[in-house]
Each structure stands twice: as structure tokens, then as C-alpha cells.
């Protein structure tokens, strides 16, 4: 078993993750979107996909044992989810996605399309939220710029960012729709200490 596991996210979502104090549960992809969700997405309306965990079917936190975001299925979002890498301690309750999906009777036809061209053998899931604490987090870094925000092993345990809207010049710009959901506002400083 590996000692570490990774979660990728965008610089736009990082302030919310830190403010919330955990990686939240999201869609497990065990079944395809409904016809209504597909219709809405084709029209550019993604609001039906932004559900609370209790409204999702078997929600999970997505993880991988591959330190590279390539071929992970992270493309297609309005946000670059390949930019921020969280290195976490591996836990026994993390499950290999492929086996977990079969155990939970994933829609096989849907699964074939979901994994095509992806490094799905590296995918793991957690059915529990993952707290952003020193017991779980090893490192948080921007793998595009090389900036390291948190590195517990190196003693860097404090991260601060100022929130800006849209294409702000400060480290973590946040879109208006993210701000409204997070409770953050322009100019807020997010401070995170492990």
C-alpha cells in the first residue's frame, strides 16, 4: 500500500476547501446523468449538478495514487482541476474505485465511456469527507507554478490567500458563483494552519 494519495482541484476551489476545513463528498459516477441533466448541460446550465452530498447517489471524495493529473478525467470543467495537488496520507478505508464501482453495481455501459482513455486503475474513493488537518494533509501545491502552500514535512504549515473575483491578480481568484456559495467576499483573507 502506498503511503500517500492525491486529490486534484482548482485554485478557484482551494479557498472554499480551506474555509470549509474538509474535502467534501461529490458525485460517485455510479450511474449516468439523467436525461434532464444532459439537456441542461447541453444548454450550458450546470446548476443541476451542484447538489448537496445528501442529494447525490453514493457520494465520494475522488482520489488517485498517481501524482500526475493527466488522464484522470479532470478535463471539461470551467475550472482547471489539474492545477492544485493535495498530497494526503493513505488511509485503510480508501477503496480502489474500480472494485468499489463493481461492488456498488456501476452502470457498465456508462463505466466504459467514463474510463475510456483514463488512468482509472489509479483512482480511489473515500466515502467519508477528508478533514484538512495535519493528521491528513502532507502538502498543498500549485503544480503549474511550483508554488508550495503547505508542506508539513518541511515545516511550512500556514497558508494565506486573498480572495479576488474573476481574473484577479492575487493568488486565488474566485468566480462570483463560487463566492456566493462559499460565503467568502472579495478581499477576504483565507488563512489555513495545520
| Residue of 146, 148, 143, 138 lying closest to 194 (CA atoms) | 138
Measured distance CA(29)–CA(6) in Å, rounded: 19
Question: What pLDDT is stored for residue 51 in this prediction?
Answer: 61
137 pLDDT higher than 90: yes
Residue 167: pLDDT band (50, 70, 90) is: very low
User: Under DSSP, is residue 123 helix (H, G, I), strand (E, B) or coil?
Assistant: strand
Sequence ranges of the domains in the chain: 4-149
Any alpha helices (H) in 60-157, and if so which ranges? Answer: 97-103, 108-115
Question: Strand pairing of 172-174 and 158-165?
Answer: parallel
Question: Does the predicted TM-score (pTM) go above 0.85?
Answer: no
Residue 107, CB-side half-sphere exposure with 13 Å CA sphere: 12
Q: Which three cell numbers stand for residue 175?
A: 468566480
Question: What pLDDT is stored for residue 65 in this prediction?
Answer: 97
Question: Strand pairing of 4-9 and 84-89?
Answer: antiparallel
The helix (run of H) or strand (run of E) holding residue 59 is none
For residue 71, give every residue at least 6 positions away whose Cβ sits within 8 Å of its Cβ, in sequence order, or none: 117, 118, 119
Asked whether 27 and 56 are in contact (CB, 8 A), the reply is yes
Query: CB neighbours (10 Å) of residue 111?
Result: 18
How many Å from the N-terminal Cα to the C-terminal Cα in the chain? 25
Kindly report which listed range (27-31, 90-94, 130-134, 151-155) carries the lowest average pLDDT score.
27-31
Residue 163, CB-side half-sphere exposure with 13 Å CA sphere: 23
Q: Find the angle CA(76)-CA(94)-CA(27) to the nearest 5 degrees.
A: 35
Question: What pLDDT is stored for residue 166 in this prediction?
Answer: 44
Work out the average pLDDT over 90-110: 92
Amino acid at each position: 500500500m502506498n503511503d500517500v494519495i492525491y486529490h486534484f482541484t482548482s485554485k478557484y476551489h482551494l479557498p472554499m476547501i480551506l474555509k470549509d476545513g474538509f474535502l467534501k463528498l461529490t458525485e460517485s459516477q455510479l450511474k449516468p446523468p439523467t436525461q434532464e441533466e444532459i439537456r441542461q448541460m447541453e444548454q450550458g446550465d450546470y446548476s443541476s449538478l451542484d447538489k448537496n452530498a445528501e442529494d447525490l447517489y453514493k457520494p465520494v471524495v475522488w482520489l488517485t495514487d498517481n501524482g500526475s493529473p493527466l488522464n484522470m478525467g479532470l478535463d471539461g470543467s470551467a475550472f482547471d482541476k489539474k492545477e492544485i495537488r493535495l498530497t494526503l496520507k493513505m488511509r485503510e478505508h480508501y477503496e480502489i474505485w474500480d472494485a468499489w464501482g463493481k461492488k456498488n453495481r456501476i452502470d457498465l455501459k456508462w463505466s466504459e465511456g467514463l474510463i475510456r482513455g483514463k488512468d482509472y486503475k489509479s483512482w480511489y474513493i473515500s466515502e467519508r469527507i477528508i478533514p484538512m488537518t495535519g493528521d491528513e494533509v502532507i502538502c498543498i501545491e500549485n503544480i503549474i507554478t511550483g508554488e508550495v502552500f503547505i508542506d508539513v514535512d518541511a515545516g511550512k504549515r500556514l497558508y494565506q490567500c486573498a480572495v479576488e473575483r474573476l481574473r484577479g491578480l492575487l493568488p486565488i481568484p474566485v468566480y462570483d458563483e463560487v463566492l456566493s456559495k462559499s460565503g467568502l467576499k472579495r478581499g477576504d483573507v483565507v488563512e489555513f494552519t495545520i
